[in-house]
């Protein structure tokens, strides 16, 4: 039972970290856009791709320790 509770807490923290990271990255990307005025499709696509890649890598790192005790 404790393992289930610990896993649920970990998943909750991972979800919270995901949303926090998404908000921070969106804010930083908005600041970058305003500073450099790069609003072309290429920069938007690159920013979205890098954000998704970073989130996927962070999830992989976060969940890699779940199966190990």
Domain layout of the chain by residue ranges: 2-63
Residue 7's contacts (CB-CB under 8 Å, 6 or more residues apart) are 66
Q: pTM of the full predicted structure?
A: 0.45
Note the pLDDT tens digit of each residue in 5-57: 888 888 888 888 888 888 888 888 777 777 666 567 677 777 778 888 887 78
- Number of neighbouring beta carbons within 10 Å of residue 65: 9
Tokens of 38: 């790069």
Distance CA 25, CA 55 (A): 10
Where would I find the beta strands (DSSP E) of the chain? none
Note the pLDDT tens digit of each residue in 45-64: 777 788 888 877 877 777 77
Q: Which residue has the tokens 């921070």?
A: 24
């Amino acid at each position: 039972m404790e393992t289930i509770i610990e896993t649920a807490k970990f998943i909750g923290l991972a979800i919270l970290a995901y949303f926090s990271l998404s908000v921070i990255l969106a804010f930083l990307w908005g600041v970058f856009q305003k500073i450099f005025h790069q609003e072309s499709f290429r920069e938007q696509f690159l920013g979205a791709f890098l954000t998704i890649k970073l989130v996927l890598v962070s999830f992989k790192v976060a969940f890699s320790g779940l199966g190990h005790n």
